[in-house]
């Protein structure tokens, strides 16, 4: 076990139960290795932030967690990633089912070109989560509510989701992810396409959601990581350099590369 993995597990005790246990994760794009022996435990009902310079493998690692890498030609994942103790890359795990339990919000808001209602209802529909129409309506409403969007769109659920503003679209995408009641929500730079006000809105939302969901967020914004997360992982050129409580990372980082990055000397 390497140093990073040890840090991860050592902190586990104070941080509650690990929902994801990752060990020696290596990812290759064709011949090129993008991640080197990453090991970390992701804690239940916490917000975990991934930071690091561009191209260091944050998105790559995030996409391993719900096997979104499967759709990339030539992408290969080694090592073990356990969700509730079950290896997500084992034969028994159906990636389709996995992605319903590990939701994802993308960098660019990507609502379906359908109505707001259908955007949120799509997941529950295909998984048969609603018993009937009223049940489905209920799911849609509570999801929009949790995503803090219901007030704004209550009267126009039939209008297209693509007609909303960028920030609203991103919250719609969050509502869509919530609607299938996942355990975990992965967010890959969810605010990078948004203005500061919309960003603040989403950050608030993440805070609220962390009561019921485990959230992993990739961000380039150090303040954002500090504001919303309890745990922070710093990646550098495919390696997990440091992973511990957010406060610790930002006040007394143990690795000088981390220190260099958060003080803005490189990255």
Partner 1 sequence: MTSTIMTQPTAAETRLGWESAEVRRRIRRRHAANRRLRLYGIAAICTAIGLLATLVVSLVLLGSPAFVQTKLDMPVLLNAQHVDPAQPARGNYRAIVRSSFLSLFPEGAAMSPRDQRALFRILSNGAPLAVRDHVVANPGDLGKTVTLSVPLSDPFDQLNKGKIRRDLPENRRTVTDRQLAWFDHLDAQGLISMPFNWAMFFNSDSRFPELAGMAGALVGSFYALMVCFLISFPVGIAAAIYLEEFAPRNRWTDVIEVNVNNLAAVPSIVFGLLGLAVFLNFFNMPRSAPLVGGMVLSLMTLPTIIIVTRAALKAVPPSIREAALGVGASKHQVTLHHVLPLAMPGILTGTIIGMAQALGETAPLLLIGMNAFIVEPPGGILEPATALPTQIFIWADSPERGFAARTAGGILVLLGFLVMMNMVAVWLRKRFERRW
Ligand X SMILES: Nc1ncnc2c1ncn2[C@@H]1O[C@H](COP(=O)(O)OP(=O)(O)OP(=O)(O)O)[C@@H](O)[C@H]1O
User: Which residues sit at the interface with partner 1, rule CB under 8 A?
Assistant: 66, 68, 71, 73, 96-101, 103-106, 108, 110-113, 122-123, 126-127, 160, 162, 173, 176-177, 179-180
Catalog residues that contact Mg ion under the rule CB under 5 A: 59
Q: Are 156 and 117 in contact (CB under 8 A)?
A: no
Residue 173 contact, options Mg ion, partner 1, ligand X, none, Cβ 5-8 Å cut-off depending on partner type: partner 1
Shortest Å, Cβ 102 to partner 1:
9
Shortest Å, Cβ 91 to Mg ion:
29
For Mg ion, the closer of residues 48 and 59 by Cβ is 59
Helices and strands, counts by H and E, the chain: 11, 10
Q: Are 82 and 264 in contact (CB under 8 A)?
A: no
Among candidate residues 182, 207, 249, 215, the one with its CA nearest the CA of residue 43: 215
Does 60 bind ligand X (CB under 6 A)? Our answer is yes
The conformational region for residue 71 under phi > 0 = left, psi -120 to 50 = alpha, else beta, is alpha
Burial tier of 235 (Cβ tally within 10 Å: 0-12, 13-18, 19+): buried
Residue 14 contact, options Mg ion, ligand X, partner 1, none, Cβ 5-8 Å cut-off depending on partner type: none
Does 153 bind ligand X (CB under 6 A)? Our answer is no
For partner 1, the closer of residues 4 and 179 by Cβ is 179
């Amino acid at each position: 076990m390497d140093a990073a993995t040890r840090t991860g597990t050592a902190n586990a005790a104070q941080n509650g139960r690990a929902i994801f246990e990752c060990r020696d994760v290596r990812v290759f794009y064709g011949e090129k290795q993008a991640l080197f022996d990453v090991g970390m435990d992701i804690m239940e009902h916490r917000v975990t932030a991934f930071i690091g310079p561009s191209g260091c493998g944050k998105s790559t690692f995030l996409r391993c967690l719900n096997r979104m890498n499967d759709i990339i030609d030539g992408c290969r994942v080694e090592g073990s990633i356990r969700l509730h103790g079950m290896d997500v890359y084992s034969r028994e795990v159906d990636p389709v089912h996995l992605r319903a339990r590990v939701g994802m919000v993308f960098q660019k808001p990507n609502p379906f070109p359908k109505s707001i209602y259908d955007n949120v209802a799509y997941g529950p529909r295909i998984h048969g989560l609603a018993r009937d129409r009223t049940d489905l309506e209920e799911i849609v409403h509570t999801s929009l509510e949790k995503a803090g969007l219901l007030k704004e769109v209550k009267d126009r659920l039939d209008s297209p989701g693509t007609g909303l503003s960028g920030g609203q679209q991103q919250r719609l995408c969050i509502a869509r992810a919530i609607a299938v009641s996942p355990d975990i929500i992965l967010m890959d730079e969810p605010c990078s396409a948004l203005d500061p006000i919309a960003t603040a809105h989403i950050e608030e939302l993440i805070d609220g959601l962390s009561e019921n969901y485990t959230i992993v967020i990739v961000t380039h914004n150090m303040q954002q990581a500090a504001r919303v997360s309890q745990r922070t992982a710093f990646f550098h050129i495919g390696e997990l350099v440091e992973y511990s409580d957010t406060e610790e990372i930002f006040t007394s980082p143990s690795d000088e590369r981390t220190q260099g990055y958060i003080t803005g000397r490189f990255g």
